[in-house]
């Protein structure tokens, strides 16, 4: 079977709740985020996934992703990977989209990037590294990471430019699956938060 990537976005933080760009700032999970991580773990451990035996697990080293991974029950199986950290937002770190628009009208991160931070090319290269690793695997992989990084991986899995990620939103503690259809890279499911309704 061709490998799939299962993408788990970290749980809710105070900054994600406020809509702030949270790159390398190590913001902890809120209690809501911890609850969501546990519910995600319950989902991943019941049929049909049954705890994903044999899956290789990687997590961003930032605490909000790492703790989500641990609370979901995959901490002991996970390796930290620097390639999975969130976009370095540079001068826009901690700002909301409205605050950024006030100083840079018409700005779109997926087209314009950020001043003093990571470039579009650098984010693309990191996403491509993750995609290449997953495609070389002979098993499914499970990744715990961040909204913009996971959206970037989604775009690059499909072979599309980074700006496609603007069209595929991700909520905190969502589960997405990238796989194959007719031999081509495909989205099996995206931004699934059904487990949070429990």
Residue 82 known to be catalytic = no
How does strand 5-9 pair with strand 78-80? unpaired
From the list 10, 21, 148, 195, the catalytic residue is 10
Contacts of 33 (CB under 8 A, 6+ apart): 10, 11, 12, 13, 64, 68, 172, 173
DSSP secondary structure of 137-180? -SS-EEEEE-HHHHHHHHHHHTT--GGGGGGS---TT-EEEEEE
Q: Which residue among 67, 86, 93, 118 is the active-site one?
A: 86
Q: Which residues carry out catalysis?
A: 10, 86
């Amino acid at each position: 079977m061709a490998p799939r990537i299962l993408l788990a976005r970290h749980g809710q933080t105070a900054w994600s709740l406020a809509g702030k760009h949270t790159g390398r700032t190590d913001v902890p999970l809120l209690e809501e985020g911890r609850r969501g991580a546990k519910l995600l773990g319950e989902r991943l451990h019941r049929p049909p996934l049954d705890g994903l035996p044999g899956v290789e697990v990687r997590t961003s080293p930032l605490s909000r992703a790492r703790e989500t991974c641990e609370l979901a029950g995959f901490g002991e199986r996970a390796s930290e990977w620097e390639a999975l950290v969130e976009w370095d937002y540079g001068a826009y770190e901690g700002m909301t989209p409205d605050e950024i628009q006030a100083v840079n009208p018409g700005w779109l991160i997926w087209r314009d990037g950020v001043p003093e931070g990571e470039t579009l090319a650098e984010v693309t290269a990191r996403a491509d590294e993750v995609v290449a690793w997953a495609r070389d695997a002979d098993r499914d992989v499970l990744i715990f990471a961040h909204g913009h990084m996971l959206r970037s991986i989604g775009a690059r899995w499909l072979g599309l430019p980074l700006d496609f990620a603007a069209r595929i939103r991700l909520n905190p503690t969502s589960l997405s699956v990238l796989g194959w259809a007719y031999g081509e890279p495909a989205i099996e499911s995206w931004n699934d938060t059904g487990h949070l309704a429990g």
